[in-house]
Structure formats: C-alpha cells, structure tokens
C-alpha cells in the first residue's frame, strides 16, 4: 500500500478553495485548482515514495504489471492501470464535449498520427488510442449539462426564448421525434454564419435571462446558461447548451457519461472516475481546439446519460454501477469497526474525503487522512479498513471477481 502524491491541474475554470480545503491547505489559493489527479496517466502520474527512492505510479506499475494490477488486468489493458481518479472542482463551465468509443479512439489516433501531428500538437483530437467513459459523483451540489433533450423538449425551450433566428430549428425539432434532428440542429448552431454569431448569442442570453426571471420549467436551465455566457462571452456553445439536459446532482448522486454522450460540467465539486485517457473532442465553451465535424461524427444524440443512485453493497459500502470495463466506483462510510474493502485481487485507489481511515493488509497498516489517497496493488490482497471516515474506492470494472458483497 503506497500513499500517493497527486497532481493538481491549474485549469482556468477551477476553484480557488475546494481542493485546498479537502487537503487541509490554506484557501483561497492564488491561482485556480481545477482537478486533482490520482493515478498513472503518463502526462501526470502520481508520485510514490518507496524506501529505495521516489518514483511515480506509472513507473511502479511498469516494473511489474502482473503484481501491481493482477495478471488478468495487466493482460487485458496492456500493463496499464485502466482508470484515473480525480477530484474535479469547477467554478466555471467546462467545454461542451464528447468522448470516443475504443474503436473510434483507435481509428482517430491512427489518423492523427498519419496526418503527421506530433504528440503535443494542439490540433490533435486524439492524444491516445483509449476510450474515455467517465462517472462523476457529486460532493457538493453539481450543475451539469448531460445528454441531449428530446426533440420536443428542445423545440419548446428554443421557442420559449423568443429568438426569431432559432424558429426554423425549433420547427424542425418539433416536427419529428428522431434524435438525428438534434444532431442537425447542433450542426446548424455550431456552423452559424460568422457575421451573425454575436447577434445570435446576445439574443439567446437576453432570452435566457427573461425566462430565468419567472417561474417555469426552464428557469433553472436558462439561469445556468446565462451564467455560462458570462464566462464565455460570444461563444456559440452558449446556444448549443440549449439542446442539452440540465440537472443538479445532489451529494452522493452521480452521472455516467458513455461514448458519444454530449455534456458539459458547469459548477461544483465532485469525484470523477474515468478510463485512463485524455481524449476529448470539443464543440464550444473553450479556448482549446474545437473540431465540429469530428464531434458530430462521434455524437450519439440518443446516448442515455443516467443519474445514478448508489447501490448498497453491505457493511457500509455502496457501488455506482456502470457498464465501463475500465473502472468501478465504490463509496464507504466507515465506523470504528473493521470492514473489508471491495475489489480485492485487483489494483485500487482509495481517497479519503472525511475523517481518517486505517487500512490493514498482510504487509501492515497504513493511515489515510482526509484529502489523502493510497494505491493498493493486486498483491496487497484483501485490505481491511476502519474509521471513522468516508472513502471513495476506484477499481477496475473488468478484472476483479464480483460478488453480492462487492
């Protein structure tokens, strides 16, 4: 069992308080802290201190993948830890984006290489050949745009804004229940004539402010979109956001994002668990590379984006079920009595978000305090834990035998 030194990502949309407070550091911080990475992603692997010296988690796993990951997991995922655990702390909206499936990622990565794009080229869509399904579990109320509205719902919202330029799109959406109409509407918005974009965004913001000012079905969504417009003035992503479903995740609720699911995280603090990839294709609300044709190719307008309630798994444990083979997210509320953590036999990362826990394996004990994280290798075997503490546990979704207690 190894304590991890996570990597903080200072993206501009991040919070000045949330991650520092979790780790017990002074807040507010001078600059934004958007994500806390715990894992073996090659661009920002967590540090590990061993008696022989400091190393990183990707190097540790690379030296003996079978022992660290378990033989089955090492074979299935090419000796790579298949998941990345994050704390995500957003004060401003992230980009509107989709993630590829494994087949799409492999084809896109190969195509970018064949175009001669270097690893750091900002015009790349695919930085690796992995998919990037993800699950976001709220620690605080978390605003999200997740999945696309039905055609009828999107048409009603567009018409409710009173923006004449959107009426042809609303009429097209109202005339059919085919999700393909949502893709067509999104394409029309994202390719709006350049000279008319400023006027369209301005009219949409005014309409959203008016809808938000009176009680109604779309008041909360329009208020959120108006706030997003303040963070990204003039961005067509503000208009595209109208086609997405708005939700506020309450603490403990989660949303699973499959390949092709259009989404944007707006504001809040949460735990994010994802496949160990950084493949993102963006449509707006960002200064980074945007590739509308590629995004439309990946988009699945009917992709289900469910809000997930945790399923009890016994002994103070619960699990967030998802179809992703790369990961499973567990949560544990520990009292003073010892319980066995789930997913023994595979690699796990444990993050403490409240109190402090003592973890015990055959190799000895390890204390994990609030804001700290620990890597449990497959060779650590069953690990027992006692609190009082709240833990999130990330494990592989495909390489660990399951039982009713997992």
Q: Which residues have a catalytic role annotated?
A: 282
Q: Which helix (H) or strand (E) holds 108?
A: helix 102-114
What six digits make up the tokens of 329? 């997210």
What is d(CA 51, CA 236) in angstroms, rounded to the nearest whole number?
53
**Pseudo-torsion of CA 272, 273, 278, 281, nearest 10°?**
-60
Task: Give Cα 202 distance to the centre of its chain.
Answer: 30
Tokens 């690699």, residue located: 347
What is d(CA 359, CA 223) in angstroms, rounded to the nearest whole number?
45
Whether 32 contacts 85, CB under 8 Å: no
| Orientation angle between helical segments 151-160 and 167-174, nearest 10 degrees | 150
Q: Which helix (H) or strand (E) holds 240?
A: helix 237-240
What is d(CA 161, CA 376) in angstroms, rounded to the nearest whole number?
52
Alpha carbon distances (Å) from 189 to 226, 240, 242, 247: 17, 6, 10, 22
Partners of residue 352 on adjacent β-strands: 391
> Would you call 34 helix, strand, or coil by DSSP?
coil
Whether 390 contacts 339, CB under 8 Å: no
Q: Which helix (H) or strand (E) holds 205?
A: helix 197-212
Secondary structure (DSSP) of 38-83: ES--TTSPPEEEETTEEEEHHHHHHH-HHHHH-HHHHHHTTTS--E
């Amino acid at each position: 069992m190894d304590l991890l030194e996570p990597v903080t990502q200072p993206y501009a949309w991040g919070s000045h308080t949330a991650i520092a407070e979790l780790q017990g550091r002074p807040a507010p911080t001078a600059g934004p802290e958007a994500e806390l990475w715990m894992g073996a992603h090659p661009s920002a692997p967590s540090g590990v201190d061993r008696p022989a010296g400091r190393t990183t988690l990707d190097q540790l796993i690379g030296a003996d993948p079978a022992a660290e990951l378990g033989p089955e997991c090492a074979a299935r995922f090419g000796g790579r830890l298949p998941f990345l655990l994050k704390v995500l702390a957003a004060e401003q909206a992230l980009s509107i984006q989709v993630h590829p499936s494994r087949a799409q990622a492999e084809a896109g990565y190969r195509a970018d290489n064949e175009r001669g794009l270097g690893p750091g080229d900002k015009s790349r869509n695919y930085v690796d050949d992995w998919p990037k399904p993800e699950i976001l579990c709220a620690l605080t109320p978390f605003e999200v745009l997740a999945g696309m509205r039905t055609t009828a719902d999107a048409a009603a919202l567009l018409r409710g804004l009173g923006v004449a330029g959107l009426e042809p799109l609303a009429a097209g959406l109202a005339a059919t229940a085919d999700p393909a109409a949502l893709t067509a509407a999104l394409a029309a918005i994202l390719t709006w004539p350049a000279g008319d974009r400023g006027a369209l965004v301005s009219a949409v913001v005014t309409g959203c402010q008016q809808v938000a000012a009176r009680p109604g079905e779309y008041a909360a969504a329009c208020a959120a979109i108006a706030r997003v417009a303040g963070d990204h003035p003039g961005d067509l992503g503000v208009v595209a956001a109208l086609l997405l479903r708005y939700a506020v995740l309450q603490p403990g609720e989660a949303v699973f994002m499959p390949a092709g699911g259009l989404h944007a995280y707006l504001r809040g603090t949460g735990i994010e668990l994802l496949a160990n990839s950084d493949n993102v294709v963006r449509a707006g609300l960002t200064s980074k590379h945007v590739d509308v044709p590629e995004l439309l190719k990946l988009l699945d307008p009917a992709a289900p984006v469910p809000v997930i309630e945790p399923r009890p798994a016994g002994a103070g444990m619960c699990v967030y079920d998802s179809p992703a083979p790369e990961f499973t997210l567990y949560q544990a509320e520990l009292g003073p009595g010892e319980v066995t953590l789930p997913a023994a036999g595979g690699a796990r990362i444990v993050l403490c978000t409240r109190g402090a826990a003592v973890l015990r394996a055959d190799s000895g004990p390890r204390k994990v305090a609030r804001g700290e994280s620990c890597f449990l290798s497959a060779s650590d075997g069953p690990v027992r834990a006692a609190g009082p503490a709240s833990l999130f546990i990330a494990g592989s979704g495909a390489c660990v035998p399951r039982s009713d207690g997992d």
